[in-house]
Amino acid sequence: MKNKLEVVILTAFPKIFDSYLNESLFKRAIAKKILKFKIVNLRDFATGKHKKIDDRPFGGGPGMVLMVEPITKALKSLGAKNKTRTILFSTRGKKLDAAMAKRLSKYDRLILISGRYEGVDERVAEALADEEVSIGDFVLSGGELPALVLSESVARFLPGFLGKLESLEELKGSYPVYTRPEEFKLGKKKLKVPQVLLSGDHKKIEEWRRK
């Protein structure tokens, strides 16, 4: 059986992904061949004794910049594949939303370039990436967390990834959810489940959820 989507992540810290990809929805999706992950260590494509993948920025400035050469070599090692999209995470990229995730779910392979240090050599954005993506108006130390965020948001549009065709948080606007007990005491307060949810009247429940 062919995997529905292959996600390739280029990173300087491959072990970051071990735990998350081996739990819960991702673990099941990988077992069911809905998803396939390939984690590529950029240091495997570095040269020299110290496997250096970063260097000082031209023109001066703080920090180190991820070099274009190991990223280029890593991408070439993957070979060509139809319907592939290469994404570089960047604070100036287009913000990830549900529409983007749905669009990306139509590809056969996503290649995610996780930046680190002070940034990534601009030639990666110019010549290697198809688009730049941001997950929000804030700064992180690397692209590994954005890679996981994008992977899950995309995977949720793949048939079979979720246990049901519809998951609570997939509904437009979402809504408050409750579970047992029906009444919970917090100090002097009694926090109760809305009566409509206990009524068994599915029409009224649906109306309440869509308010």
CATH of the domain at 52: 3.40.1280.10
Residue 165 lies in a domain: no
Residue 37 and residue 121 in one domain: yes
Residue at 161 is within a domain:
no
> For residue range 71-87, what is the model confidence (pLDDT) as tens digits?
999 999 999 999 999 99
Q: What percent of the chain is modeled with pLDDT above 90?
A: 82
Helix/strand/coil (H/E/C) assignment for every residue in 3-71: CCEEEEEEECCHHHHHHHHCCHHHHHHHHCCCEEEEEEEHHHHCCCCCCCCEECCCCCCCCCEECHHHH
Residue 3 has pLDDT above 70, yes or no: no
Domains of the chain: total: 2
Q: pLDDT per residue over 42-62, tens digit each?
A: 999 998 888 899 999 999 988
Is position 160 within any domain?
A: no
Range of the domain at 87: 5-155
Neighbours of 211 (CB within 10 A): 6
Q: Map tokens 């139809």 to a residue.
A: 82
Question: Domain check: are 182 and 92 in the same one?
Answer: no
Q: Are residues 146 and 192 in the same domain?
A: no
Looking at residue 168, its pLDDT comes to 41
Alpha-carbon distance of 148 to 9, in angstroms, equals: 9
Do 87 and 132 share a domain, yes or no? yes
Mean pLDDT of the chain: 92
- Does 158 score more than 80 pLDDT? yes
Residue 22 has pLDDT above 60, yes or no: yes
Q: Average of pLDDT values for 152-171? A: 76
Rounded CA separation 158/35 (Å):
9
On whether both 192 and 125 belong to a single domain, the answer is no
What does the alpha-carbon distance between residue 18 and residue 149 come to, in Å, rounded to a whole number? Answer: 15
β partners of residue 37: 7
State what percent of residues in the chain have pLDDT above 70.
Answer: 94
pLDDT classification of 137: cutoffs 50, 70, 90? very high
In-domain check, residue 167: no
Q: Is residue 71 part of a domain?
A: yes
Residue 192 shares a structural domain with residue 143: no
pLDDT of residue 131: 98
pLDDT of 91 higher than 50: yes
| Together in a domain, 43 and 145 | yes
**117 and 199 assigned to the same domain:** no
Report yes or no on 55 lying in a domain: yes
Q: Are residues 118 and 179 in the same domain?
A: no
**Looking at the structure, do residues 120 and 151 belong to the same domain, yes or no?**
yes
Nearest 5°: the CA angle 104, 105, 111 is 60
Residue 163 covered by a domain: no
Considering the domain architecture, whether residues 41 and 133 belong to the same structural domain is answered as yes
145 with 182, same domain: the answer is no
Integer Cα distance of 149 and 101 in angstroms: 10
Backbone region of residue 173 per phi and psi (left: phi > 0; alpha: psi in -120 to 50; beta: other values)? left
211: pLDDT strictly greater than 90? no
What is the separation of C-alpha 112 from the centre of its chain, rounded to a whole number of angstroms? 9
Does 164 map to a domain?
A: no
